[in-house]
Structure 1
């Protein structure tokens, strides 16, 4: 019994854990959330730290990055982007970027699991592009050609069409 315990402890000690710090449901809940809620969720609840803020079109655009650790990968989240539509409502965009292909692949699995069908698959000069859509959100995944580089996911709010009765 001691052999098994020692073996398990040995493998746990030498294994490198590379945990994804945000998942797809988190992204959906943060895309239109107030800045205070985003800050609280990312900096207290997750392993991110606030990096910078920029005012664009009167709205703060905030950048957060994971704290460097033994995991050796970088994750960046940008919130506050978007466009103002008629009536003054803002359609928000959340951007997630990582250096880990495994994290992007896990997010793609989660996107499919949540029932978002693939509506576009193509590429430009530098990356593959996949778009998944629902009635409320459009999710774009960017996968650069070759190894390395930055992989990213953008969640865009869609304009809801009001029903007239």
Structure 2
């Protein structure tokens, strides 16, 4: 009996060591937060640490990376935005990972979130998935040449019918 309990404990530890640090719902929620709120959300979760700030087209782009060395490298980039004429800000979040398994999990979560798969295809370097609804435009790339993938989530301007 002790042997089985030990095996179950080892399995649970192994599963948590390869756990994905962020879900699709977390990524979409980050687009709805201001840069300060998103930074706090990522850092207070004690999964990501702030890496550096990049100045790009007058915007401050912030880069975050996973803290744990036992987890496949994952990064989140926030700060890219577009200001509309009415003052509303549309934000983008980019997530990258060194684990194709994490990308497949995100694709499954996206399909379960009622976003519509608009395109599925491939180019020379990536398998490409594009999802869309009234609020978000999501592009997912899984590299065919390296063990990596990325997700770009962009807020859309909501125009009621």
With normalisation by structure 1, the TM-score equals: 0.86
Report 1:119-158 matches (<5 A). Answer: 119-146=118-145, 148-158=146-156
Q: Is the 8 A contact 2:126 2:144 kept in 1?
A: yes
Q: Deviations over 1:101-147 (max 9, x none)?
A: 1100000110011111110122333212110111100110011124x
Give the secondary structure class of the aligned counterpart of 1:33: coil
Q: CA RMSD in A?
A: 2.0
C-alpha distance in 2 between matches for 1:131 and 1:8 = 38
**Per-residue deviation, residues 37-75 of structure 1 (Å, max 9, x unmatched):** 11211111141000111233433210000014223x110
Provide the residue aligned with 1:27 in structure 2: 27
After superposition, residues 42-121 of structure 1 pair within 5 angstroms as 42-71=42-71, 73-121=72-120
Tell whether the 8 Å contact from 1:129 to 1:143 is kept in structure 2 after alignment.
yes
What secondary structure sits across from 1:109 in the alignment? helix
* Match for residue 160 of structure 1 among 119, 142, 158: 158
Q: CA deviation at 1:162?
A: 5.0
Preserved contact between residue 142 and residue 153 of structure 1 (Cα < 8 Å): yes
Give the number of the structure whose alpha-carbon radius of gyration is greater. 1
1:4 deviation in Å? 2.8
Question: What TM-score comes out, normalization by structure 2 length?
Answer: 0.87
State the number of aligned residues: 160
| Post-superposition offset of 1:88 | 4.0
SS of 1:20's equivalent in the other structure is coil
Shift in CA distance, 54/6, structure 1 to aligned 2, threshold 3 Å: closer
The gaps in structure 2 that reach 5 residues or longer are: none
**Contact 2:100–2:147 under 8 Å retained in 1:** no
